[in-house]
Amino acid sequence: MYDIIRESSYLPPPFANSPLFPLLLMSLAAQKNAPSNTQTASSIRSSYDFIVVGAGSAGATVAARLSELPCVSVLLLEAGKRPPVVNDVPFFGRAFWLTDLDWTYKTTPQRYTGRLLKDRQVPWPLGKGLGGSGLINAELYVRGNEKNYDDWEQQGAKGWSYEEVLPYFKKLEDFRYPEFLLNGRHATSGPITIEKPKYYPKIKGHLYEAVESIGYEILDSNGPRQTGFYDTEANIRDGQRCSAAKGYLVPAENRTNLHILPNAFVHKIIIQSKTAVGVSFKVNGQMYDVFAKKEVIVSAGSTKTPQLLMLSGIGPQKDLQRLGIPVIANLPVGLNLQEHCSTYNSFEVYSNNMYPRPEEAIETFIGNRSGYLASPEGVIALAFLKDSYIRPKIDFPNYQLYFFLGGALDVERTFNIQKYAYDQIFAPYENKTFLTCFSSVLQPKSRGYVKLLSSNPEDPPLINPNYFAHPQDLKDMVEGMKTCHRIAMTKPLQNVGARPFQTVYPGCEKYLGNTDSYFACQAGSIVTTMSHTVGTAKMGAIDDPSTVVDPELKVKGIKHLRVVDASIMPIVPSGNTNIPTIMVAEKASDIIKSTLRC
């Protein structure tokens, strides 16, 4: 039933080699994590009403919603494959970085940060498979701030105010927090299940005692007020990952008007007389063309969507001409990239073994879907905060904190740190589990880009988030790091021995004793992406030269072509972007359906 070799290849040896590993896989079988009723290249038709490119959080949603209409046919193309069963364990999200579920990209060398990273490049995890980046993320259920969406509308994205998008957030929800349902902001009948992870390490109680001692409020940050500490909500169903593939595609997989084709790498949108008429894609080394009678919908994500548009002749004229690509529409594709970068403070605590041994963890997870394997990548708490305020008058936080239990080897594997820096900072803590506080900038003012490296679709794009190009972003980052430190120094966490790492970042020695300067040096040394990339096919007014799509997500100047994914977001939401991406797809589906008559 399971390919044990493939399943185990994704995990660290203590789990992969555990005698309980086969039992873990069997316990996951009650939920189907992706559709198995998929097509082969030889079985697809020559044309469909709609072709959707990308089966990630947006593409899975829009394909499933359109196929609810029996009078239309939908082809969903995905470059990756069906995810392994073990992907359903919430803790293992990061284990799938740098695997065949990840495009394994890196940024260009960063000018203002990355001093201690190899070649100053930041790893850029990007999901590849049925479920997209929802397969490799931390499953955190976050909508963002109401003001984000009102700002979208004020900038020309008419119809996208918070009042107008709230019904679509509710439409996607199967919300299982009885205590928060009373606030009127949630619903219970949607495809994406939201639960509280059953993960209650002792340190969580001390952490909450610490933040309450300062005066922070613990609340539903998806409710009436965002600012405060957030008792984690996650897109988890009965203890297992609930990606868009599970929530939308599995219930739809047997519809005869929906064909799902994995391992199909789209190279180009076929455009004739400024009208999108189909796509060209590769399966197992062979090229195919399929045609769209109504629309091509690009849902490949904020990195792959601009790459595909530019390869198809839609993008900045000078850049396309430089690569010999005929220009069909001169649009600012790939610009306006925004992303929540992050860096971290780590703290020792008394216990050197806060994780139980793998066999015990597997037993606990199999028994009642609890313990650290049930946690979203070990996260125990989140916070959305504004400067040094405890309860600011204006509910618009400028940084986000993530608290989780981690280990040094996780850092070495995923963050591309130079060996000498890793040896100096983290190696002394290799045999310990420690509390880490990530600080992430919520309202970045820096803007980057995605550009083509070449005209070859198989080459990775050039990705430059341009972190800290605007000095305010570094100030916000430092403010978050200072808050991490302030919380760790409270009595409740001091009582469990919390103290900052005693190792020093190479090159930052001269700043010891000056908290702001030292933290700024840390942030300039090591950062990581939070994979919240947006903006590279900006939505807004059709006469705005900075936009690529109009408020109905139609690509300007090209008929029958829409973009439906996070790339259309004009401003990055204040928080994790997976759920806002599904919201965009829900709303887009209704916009498209309104043009159809069955």
482/486 Cα distance (integer angstroms): 6
Q: Is 424 exposed, middle or buried (0-12, 13-18, 19+ CB in 10 A)?
A: middle
Neighbours of 336 (CB within 10 A): 25
Look at the block and give the residue holding tokens 């399943």.
7
Length of the chain: 598
Is 485 one of the annotated active-site residues of the chain?
Answer: no
Cα 285 to Cα 41, 260, 264, 458, 562: the distances in Å are 11, 19, 10, 12, 27
Amino acid at 334: G
Angstrom distance (rounded) from CA 215 to CA 392: 12
- Selecting among 186, 259, 340, 532, the annotated active-site residue is 532
HSE at residue 420, side-chain half, CA atoms within 13 A, is 6
User: Side chain identity at 359, as an amino acid letter?
Assistant: E
Question: To 5 degrees, how large is the angle CA 585–CA 589–CA 591?
Answer: 115
Q: How far is residue 468's CA from residue 393's CA, in Å, rounded to a whole number?
A: 27
CB 44 within 8 A of CB 262: no
**Residue 330, class by beta-carbon neighbours within 10 Å (0-12 exposed, 13-18 middle, 19+ buried)?**
middle
Rg (CA), the chain: 23
Can you tell me the distance from the alpha carbon of 93 to that of 315, in angstroms, rounded to the nearest whole number? 33
- Residues identified as active-site: 532
